[in-house]
Amino acid sequence: MLRSTRLLAGIASLTLVLAGCGGSGNKQSSGGSTQTSGVTITVALASDAPPKAALDAFTQQTGITVNWVNIDWDSLQNKISAAATAKTYFADATNVDWSRVGQLGKLGWFYPVDSYVDTKAMQADVPQLASFTVDGHVVGIPYDASFMVTTVNTELFQKAGVNPAPRTMDEYTSALKTIKAKGVADHPLNIPFAAAEGLSTYWYETTGAFGGTVLDKDGKPQFTSPDSAGYKAADWMVNALKSGLVPPGNINVSDSQGMQNLMARGQVASTFSDYSGNVGTLYNIKKSSSVVGKVKYIATPGASGPAANLSNPDGIGIPKQAKYPNAAAKFIEWFTATEQQADFAGVNGPEKTFATYPIPSHLSAVKQMTAKGNLIGGAELVPMLQGSKPVFEGGAPSWYPKFSNAVYTNLHAAATGSMSVEQAMKTIGDTANQLASGS
Amino acid sequence: MTVTSTTAEVTTAGPAPGTDPVRRSRVDLLPYLLVAPVMIFIACLALVPAVFTIVQSFYKVDALDPPTRFDGLGNFVRLAKDHAVIGSLGNTALYVVIGVTLSTLIGIAAAVVLQRPFRGRSLVIAILILPWAMPGVVEGILWTGIFDPNAGLINSVLSSLHLSDGNAVLLGQNRLLTIALIELVQVWQIAPLSVLLILAVLQLIPSELYEAAQIDGCSAWGAFRRITLPLARPGIAVTMVQAVIATLNVFDQPYVLNGAANTGASVTMQTYFISFQDLDFGKGYALSLLITIVTLLVSLVVVRLVYRRVEL
């Protein structure tokens, strides 16, 4: 009897393990259900959930329940890649970063959102939609209006007796040199030289300011000649470090560290490529800043006058393995609608406010925010958003992650002195040529 | 001897072999059934992925260059030509040498101190375990604040001692210094386990051996060399193997503290970049396979050199 019981126990445990190893059986190919009511969809974004009341209202309107999953950005990108490669379900709607649009377009990992949502109708009001369009199809819809901006600590500029709103790169550089020479700030310029994405985007913005672009429409490098804007931008950045305009320690400082520890502490006077929205969400927050009310956005200084701001927004799209793509599309339509963004941004009262919501992607929602005084620096930000441009003319290439890795590792190496700017530009250029040719 | 005779008794007390085939079959099956869950878990979570990795490393599995196709040694050739991978191999070798040496030395020293009971010993051991229990990423973030060149603790101390102007760049500038400092952070994490492993072995050494050595006029250093070290060798070998595995696979600390910079990138970081940034999974599999082989070989060498069977 005892032996039989033990044998049964052994078989039972084996069966349980086999069941566990067998998986849940939810592996499915592309083409989920068209059901748009009475379903629960999973939305995975690197963000807190919107207010519960808003999500409940959405459920009431549509019959779709939202299971919100907040995953940090890096892990989220890994999950998207892993799930798409394994062709397994992961979420019904998830992040589409501007830098991965080319890659995602080529891979076909996401449904074209324009098949579900009338993206043409929103084109005029969402300037950054262009950053999410590849081969005529929209891979994701931007839900924030992130773009690169120049911020200045007006108090430090004024203390040094220089114009806090320089219009050209020469004026800007000269102002920074004066601030340093007068001892107002030992190292007035913040450039994050850590080998990370923030260094690449800083260089793209600076290249734009010098009047050029990093890659042409075909993905060919435009920065290998010393006369090119990209080369001048890299040289300007490295020289700024070598001449002491940039804190020497910035060699290993990431973009967020630089903003939080240097700009928000008043140790530097300016960040050339800052995040739009940082004045309201970081510099004007007493507990994290000692420069409240002192930092302003200025029109990006350019070669001969203000330059365009480059876009680096986050979007939301529908992965091919979504269980309920149509329901996900309904959610995206609601989540990115002007009225909803205005609610999230606090235009219609605190109870509808989405505390960590960035700047809306709809120009009309930004204008509403500015009119109601909900957006600090709104008057400056609106024209910048209106004139913002994609980082790459032809959209981010499919090989962008590898290119960016070459950009930040080599620019970092040039900053440490282990290679010259010329060598760095050549190495990055060779990498781009190799990637563009597909070899 | 005792075990053998007991077994013989049990065997002779049971039915003659072959007299009850059904019952014998049940008896034989039971141990396998009981072990099966663990074996299946291992097969599902380790063996199947390992075999999959070995097979796929010979295929071109590139999401941006479909379809998947047999590529022979193509992935390995591309790895050999990849400067970032080659550079990271050198960095990783340094991580291993520094990490294994330091964690073993710290493990031995701390275990010897903790070998004899003293007041508050349990508390010391509990505190010692804390860094080991922390995730590598959290440690990286914590040490970022310490190494920060603009506002870090080390720079503040150096500055107050007038040893630097307060902006000494500790990470990212000099390869050896960068790797040494990053590895220090990892040693901070893995050394507690080394201490515990060696301490466990030291506690098995009979105190009579030390008493006899003392009577024979052996000094403390002599007792350490002739009793403690030889008898602790199994524990030291295990400690070194776990340090080899941890340092060869270091990822969190260099990634958080030094980004993707060539001055500190490890080979595991390259696996991540190749697989998840470039989506060249075949090359990523090949590099993972190489790391596994190197880990096994180095561990084997350590065991052969350090491990000695000890009977107390």
Chain A contacts of B276, Cβ < 8 Å?
Answer: 77-78, 81-82
Q: Do A194 and B172 touch (CB under 8 A)?
A: yes
Rg of chain A over all Cα atoms, to the nearest angstrom: 24
Q: What global pTM score does this model have?
A: 0.83
Closest-CA distance, B127 to chain A, in angstroms, reads 30
**Interface ipTM:** 0.77
Position A162: which residue type?
V
Mean pLDDT check: name the lowest of A13-22, A389-398, B131-140, B271-280. Answer: A13-22
- Quick one: pLDDT at residue B21? 53
- Mean pLDDT on A196-225: 95
- The DSSP-derived string for B40-68 is HHHIIIIIHHHHHHHHHTTEE-BTTSPSP
With b meaning 16 or more CB within 10 Å and e meaning fewer, what string describes A126-137? bbbbbbbbbeee
Question: Is pLDDT above 70 for B48?
Answer: yes
Contacts of B27 (CB under 8 A, 6+ apart): A3
Closest-CA distance, B59 to chain A, in angstroms, reads 15
Question: Is pLDDT above 60 for A4?
Answer: no
- Mean pLDDT on A229-257: 93
Chain A contacts of B261, Cβ < 8 Å?
Answer: 194-195, 252, 409, 412-413, 416
**If you average pLDDT over each of A415-424, B1-10, B115-124, which comes out highest?**
A415-424
pLDDT category, B23, cuts 50, 70, 90? low
Closest-CA distance, A273 to chain B, in angstroms, reads 19
**If you average pLDDT over each of A19-28, B16-25, B26-35, B237-246, which comes out highest?**
B237-246
Neighbours of B14 (CB within 10 A): 13
CATH number at B103 reads 1.10.3720.10
- Going by C-alpha positions, the residue among A116, A77, A114, A74 that lies closest to residue A96 is A77
- The DSSP-derived string for A128-152 is GGGGGEETTEE--EESS--BEEEEE
CA atoms within 13 A on the CB side of A1: 0
Chain A contacts of B155, Cβ < 8 Å?
Answer: 249
Question: Is pLDDT above 60 for A2?
Answer: no
Closest-CA distance, A335 to chain B, in angstroms, reads 28
- Mean pLDDT on A284-292: 92
Chain A contacts of B41, Cβ < 8 Å?
Answer: 17, 21
- Which of B277, B281, B283 is best to mutate for the A interface (most A CBs within 10 A)? B277
The pairing of beta strand B59-60 with beta strand A137-138: unpaired
Contacts of B70 (CB under 8 A, 6+ apart): B58, B59, B60
Residue B221 within a domain: yes
Mean pLDDT check: name the lowest of A62-76, A233-247, B72-86. Answer: A62-76
Question: Which stretches of chain B sit within 8 Å of chain A by CB?
Answer: 26-27, 29-30, 33-34, 36-37, 40-41, 44, 63-65, 84, 144, 147-151, 155, 167, 169-173, 257-263, 273, 276-279, 281
- CA-to-CA distance for A42 and A64, rounded, in angstroms? 10
Residue B1 within a domain: no
Residue with the bigger pLDDT between A426 and B141: it is A426
Chain A contacts of B262, Cβ < 8 Å?
Answer: 195, 409, 413, 418
Mean pLDDT check: name the lowest of A78-82, B45-49, B146-150, B247-251. Answer: B146-150
pLDDT category, A26, cuts 50, 70, 90? very low
Please give the DSSP secondary-structure letter assigned to residue A314. E
pLDDT category, A31, cuts 50, 70, 90? low
Specify the DSSP element, H or E, that contains A270.
strand A270-275
Question: Is pLDDT above 60 for A437?
Answer: yes
Instruction: Please name the fold of domain A39-143+316-380.
Output: D-Maltodextrin-Binding Protein; domain 2 (3.40.190)
Interhelix angle for B229-248 vs B281-306, to 10°?
170
Specify the DSSP element, H or E, that contains B90.
helix B83-115
Residue with the bigger pLDDT between A277 and A56: it is A56
What's the domain count of chain B?
1
The pairing of beta strand A39-45 with beta strand A64-70: parallel
- Quick one: pLDDT at residue A25? 38
Q: Do B173 and A412 touch (CB under 8 A)?
A: no
Residue with the bigger pLDDT between B311 and A377: it is A377
Residue B23 within a domain: no
- Going by C-alpha positions, the residue among A394, A401, A366 that lies closest to residue A380 is A366
Q: Are A244 and A257 in contact (CB under 8 A)?
A: no
- Quick one: pLDDT at residue A277? 84
Q: Could you give the residue ranges of the DSSP H alpha helices within A195-324?
A: 197-209, 229-242, 255-257, 278
Residue B43 within a domain: no
Tell me which residue in A248, A399, A405 faces B260 most closely, judged by beta carbons.
Answer: A405
Q: Where do the CATH 3.40.190.10 domains begin and end in chain A? A: 39-143+316-380, 148-308+399-436
Question: Is pLDDT above 60 for A16?
Answer: no
CA distances from A227 to A122, A305, A309, A422 (A): 39, 19, 22, 12
Chain A nearest-CA residue for B169? A249
Residue B71 within a domain: no
Tell me which residue in B34, B37, B171 faces A252 most closely, judged by beta carbons.
Answer: B171
- Quick one: pLDDT at residue B25? 54
Tens of pLDDT along B171-187? 888 899 999 999 999 99
Question: Is pLDDT above 50 for B9?
Answer: no
Contacts of A116 (CB under 8 A, 6+ apart): A318, A325, A326, A329, A332, A333
- CA-to-CA distance for A64 and A56, rounded, in angstroms? 9
Q: Are A169 and A302 in contact (CB under 8 A)?
A: yes
- Mean pLDDT on A41-67: 94
Q: Which domain holds residue B91?
A: 82-306
Chain A contacts of B253, Cβ < 8 Å?
Answer: none
Tens of pLDDT along A296-329? 999 999 999 999 999 989 999 999 999 999 999 9
Contacts of A43 (CB under 8 A, 6+ apart): A66, A67, A68, A69, A91, A92, A93, A94, A316, A328, A331
Q: Are B148 and B155 in contact (CB under 8 A)?
A: yes
- Mean pLDDT on A382-392: 90
Tell me which residue in B34, B169, B259 faces A10 most closely, judged by beta carbons.
Answer: B34
The DSSP bridge partners found for residue A149 are: A274
Chain A nearest-CA residue for B82? A431
pLDDT category, B148, cuts 50, 70, 90? confident
- CA-to-CA distance for A2 and A62, rounded, in angstroms? 58
Position B195: which residue type?
V
Query: CATH says A148-308+399-436 is which class?
Result: alpha beta
Mean pLDDT check: name the lowest of A5-9, A380-384, B154-158, B296-300. Answer: A5-9
Question: Is pLDDT above 50 for B4?
Answer: no
Q: Do A14 and B155 touch (CB under 8 A)?
A: no
- The DSSP-derived string for A331-400 is HHHHHTSHHHHHHHTTTT-GGG--TT----SSHHHHHHHHHTT-STTHHHHHHHHHT-EESSTT---TTH
- Mean pLDDT on B119-141: 89
**If you average pLDDT over each of A141-145, A176-180, B275-279, which comes out highest?**
A176-180
- Quick one: pLDDT at residue B73? 97
Question: Is pLDDT above 70 for A11?
Answer: no
A14/B contact by beta carbon, under 8 A: yes
Please count the residue pairs, one from chain A and one from chain B, whose beta carbons lie less than 8 angstroms apart: 129
- Quick one: pLDDT at residue A21? 44
Residue B17 within a domain: no
- Quick one: pLDDT at residue A350? 79
Contacts of A170 (CB under 8 A, 6+ apart): none
CA distances from A439 to A171, A433, B64 (A): 43, 9, 12
- CA-to-CA distance for A113 and A110, rounded, in angstroms? 8
pLDDT category, A29, cuts 50, 70, 90? very low
- Mean pLDDT on A235-248: 96
pLDDT category, B27, cuts 50, 70, 90? low
Question: Is pLDDT above 80 for B252?
Answer: yes
**Which tokens in the block code for residue A4?**
């039989």
The pairing of beta strand A141-142 with beta strand A314-317: antiparallel
Residue with the bigger pLDDT between A138 and A7: it is A138
pLDDT category, A18, cuts 50, 70, 90? very low
- Quick one: pLDDT at residue A8? 47
- CA-to-CA distance for A280 and A301, rounded, in angstroms? 21
Mean of per-residue pLDDT scores for chain A: 89
With H, G, I as helix, E, B as strand and everything else as coil, classify residue A80.
helix
- CA-to-CA distance for A229 and B42, rounded, in angstroms? 56
Question: Sign of dihedral through CA atoms A124, A125, A131, A136?
Answer: negative
- Mean pLDDT on A130-159: 92
CA distances from A170 to A147, A174, A225, A297, B136 (A): 23, 6, 20, 18, 44
- The DSSP-derived string for B214-270 is HHTT--HHHHIIIIIHHHHHHHHHHHHHHHHHHHHT--HHHHHHHTT-TTT--HHHH
pLDDT category, A111, cuts 50, 70, 90? very high
Tell me which residue in A106, A261, A409 faces B151 most closely, judged by beta carbons.
Answer: A261
Q: How far is CA A279 from the centre of its chain?
A: 17
The percent of residues above 90 in pLDDT, for chain B, comes to: 65
- Quick one: pLDDT at residue A280? 85
A433/B contact by beta carbon, under 8 A: no
Question: Is pLDDT above 80 for A12?
Answer: no
Mean of per-residue pLDDT scores for chain B: 88
Residue with tokens 């396998």: B32
Residue B95 within a domain: yes
Q: What are phi and psi of A318, to 5 degrees?
A: -115, 115
Q: Do B30 and A3 touch (CB under 8 A)?
A: yes
pLDDT category, B160, cuts 50, 70, 90? confident
Question: Sign of dihedral through CA atoms A227, A228, A231, A237?
Answer: positive
Closest-CA distance, A213 to chain B, in angstroms, reads 23
- Quick one: pLDDT at residue B193? 95
Q: Is A161 left (phi over 0), alpha (psi -120 to 50) or beta?
A: left
Contact residues, A window 407-426, toward B, CB-based 8 Å cutoff: 408-409, 412-413, 416, 418
Position A361: which residue type?
S
- Mean pLDDT on A425-439: 91
Q: Are A159 and A184 in contact (CB under 8 A)?
A: yes
- CA-to-CA distance for B194 and B199, rounded, in angstroms? 8
Contact residues, A window 372-411, toward B, CB-based 8 Å cutoff: 398-399, 401-402, 405, 408-409
